[in-house]
Copies of this chain bind each other. A is one copy, B any other.
Amino acid sequence: MFSKACEYAIRATIYIARQSQEGLRASLVDISHEIDSPVAFTSKILQQLVKAGIIFSTRGQTGGFFMENSKIESKSVAEIVSAIDGDSIYTHCGLGLKECSGAEPCPVHEKFVEIREKLRSTLETTTISAMASSLKNGLTYLKR
């Protein structure tokens, strides 16, 4: 469904949000440890999230990654996904046809439109905040 990079991105963002809610910055090694991801690869992904304006970073000693409280509330998983994987998850034809559409559909088009729309609305309505909360309450996990 998502690329590995995108999976790491979502897990990292939830962790960063959770730390930010406590007024803390998260360092790269800290993040990688908490979400169980390869450090250098995670670094690249965090840079993409910074460029997309989803998280912020500061360099130097005491530096690290953090998220504004307003963004924790307003940003959805969908925005992380489109920053890392683009919108192919919503647009790519189920059978790989380049010009598949309602006018010239592949044999699974109608059914896939339905599933993709359900996925889209799920991702768009799931906020970082909600996921950080379930993590805080010990109801969900970011590794294992």
Contacts and interface: CB of A to CB of B under 8 A. Distances in A.
Given A1-B1, A115-B115, A115-B118, A144 B98 contact: yes
A141 B97 contact: yes
A92 interface: yes
Contacts of A10: 95, 108
A24 interface: no
Interface string A93-129: 0111111100011111101001100110010001000
Tier of interface size on chain A: 35 or more
A8 interface: yes
30 contacts: A1-B89, A1-B92, A2-B94, A2-B96, A7-B95, A7-B96, A8-B96, A10-B95, A10-B108, A11-B95, A11-B106, A14-B107, A77-B108, A97-B143, A97-B144, A98-B144, A99-B144, A100-B141, A100-B144, A105-B139, A105-B140, A106-B140, A107-B134, A107-B135, A107-B140, A107-B142, A108-B131, A109-B140, A111-B122, A115-B119
